[in-house]
Amino acid sequence: MHAWIYDLHSSTRVEAALRVDETTLFVESDQGQDAYDLASVTFSPRLGNTPRSIYLPDSRVCETQENDTIDALLKRIGRDRSSILLHFLESKIRYLLAAIAVTALFSYLFIVFALPAIAKEAAQNLPASMVYRLDASTLATLDKTLLKPSTLPQTRQDALRRYFLRYVNTAQEWPKVRILFRSGGKIGANAFALPDGSIVFTDDLIAMAKDDRELLSIFFHELGHVQKRHALQTVLQDTAFYLLLSSITGDVTTASSAFALLPTMLVESSYSRNMELEADDYAYEMMQRYHVEHKYFATIMTRLMQDTNESNTSVMRYLADHPLAQFRIDRFQKGE
């Protein structure tokens, strides 16, 4: 067989002839002849008619186009039958289409069912110290991109913090709930929770509320996301998705670009329907426990939905699905 020899320590290649007997591979070139025990030689799987690599025990690599000869050799010595089977399958269009269909089905089931379950379990067990480091960089990125410093008077900020935190067990170690205020800019009237327990309110949302109990109901909703660790789960789920996508496509830039955009995605992407309903359940129970009328949540949600319909600059994540939003509004309006 004709081949080229590559030395891993050099970019040059040497032309060679390969010869095989029952147990030995002979490599002949201008540099002389070398003999290798076949058991110490590794053959790369066949991939169409691309060149085949033969890995020698002295760290050199032989490359040859004579795939059929290699297949015959492997068949004769009873090795690497899986690669022969793989080549057979990929050379038949019906098997190739079937493999694509199976891969697509598996990917769908994994992304829709397995990935959320894995992310949820990981979110519940991730060390708090790691989450705090993640959030420090996340908030810094958001402040440089989507958010600006709040223009609310400091006295108003302090009053709202005291009002909200009155309903939180501040003695708990994790998560440590923090109330932050920012000017929303293009994201408009919004509130969102970060994985470490920080809850951000935009000035636009504060201005929209006509009663602080409306803001309290939104706080309870976001606190539900914090307690269920939905934000952390979303980050883990999105990260795993892009890692899976890059492994399938072989494009590592997809994952690296996604990592850079994760802070923005955390704010602008929608929670799942189940996550929103879980956060609603938490808000409903908190309002009931502290005798806050449920109508306040329905009122602020209605106003937010109207604002979202009128302007594309207002992006309340949990109002992304309007039929679901109306169902949630009706639930709190009726107090059910």
Distance between the two ends of the chain, CA-based, in angstroms?
A: 79
Q: What is the pLDDT along the chain (336 residues), one digit of tens a residue?
A: 899 998 877 778 899 999 988 889 999 998 889 999 988 998 888 777 788 899 999 889 999 999 888 888 888 877 655 555 565 555 667 766 777 788 788 877 877 778 778 878 877 777 766 666 666 677 888 888 888 999 999 999 999 999 999 998 755 555 678 899 999 887 889 999 887 788 999 999 999 999 999 999 999 999 999 888 888 888 777 777 767 766 666 555 554 544 444 554 555 455 788 888 999 999 999 999 999 999 999 999 999 888 766 554 444 454 555 557 888 899 898 875
Distance (Å, whole) CA 246 – CA 257:
11
Distance (Å, whole) CA 69 – CA 51:
12
In the three-class reduction of DSSP (H, G, I as helix; E, B as strand; rest coil), residue 293 is classed as: coil
In the chain, domain spans: 2-81, 127-334
Distance (Å, whole) CA 116 – CA 263:
19
pTM assigned to the model: 0.64
Distance (Å, whole) CA 8 – CA 3:
16
Architecture of the domain whose range is 2-81: Roll (2.30)
Inter-residue contact 241 to 115 (CB < 8 Å): yes
Distance (Å, whole) CA 279 – CA 15:
68
What does 180-208 look like in DSSP terms, one character per residue? Answer: EEEE-GGG-S-EEE-TTSEEEEEHHHHHH
Q: Are strands 32-37 and 24-29 parallel, antiparallel or unpaired?
A: antiparallel
Distance (Å, whole) CA 124 – CA 233:
8
